[in-house]
Amino acid sequence: MILTKKDLEEWQESMFTLLTTEQIRVILERFGEEPEPYEWTEQDIAIQIRNYIGCGEFVKTMIDNSNGKRHKLPPGVEF
């Protein structure tokens, strides 16, 4: 799953959250493409956005779609 500007606007409305232009830019840059060879889930994106808004950083883990377990990113993988 990738995040579009429309998706982010809907998320803002549903969460009663206002984002700055810079936050929107960074979030769309981060989630506008899949982090090959992985894939974002809706849950990944929601958790990452909440964390970014709260402390200015993205969480360094992802959920494995095959088993639902959370894993740290492998060394060298950045997003």
Whole-angstrom Cα distance, residue 7 to residue 27? 11
Tokens, residue 7: 């998706």
Instruction: Evaluate whether residue 52 is within a structural domain.
Output: yes
Domain membership of residue 77 (yes or no) is no
The total number of structural domains in the chain stands at 1
For residue 45, pLDDT beyond 50: yes
Question: Is residue 47 one of the residues assigned to a domain?
Answer: yes
Domain that holds residue 12: 5-72
Say yes or no to pLDDT of 64 above 70: no
Provide the token pair at 13: 């409305």
Q: What is the mean pLDDT of residues 53-77?
A: 59
CA dist 46 and 39 (Å) reads 14
Asked if pLDDT for residue 54 goes beyond 60, the answer is yes
**Residue 63 near residue 70 (C-beta atoms within 8 A):** yes
Task: Indicate the average pLDDT of the chain.
Answer: 77
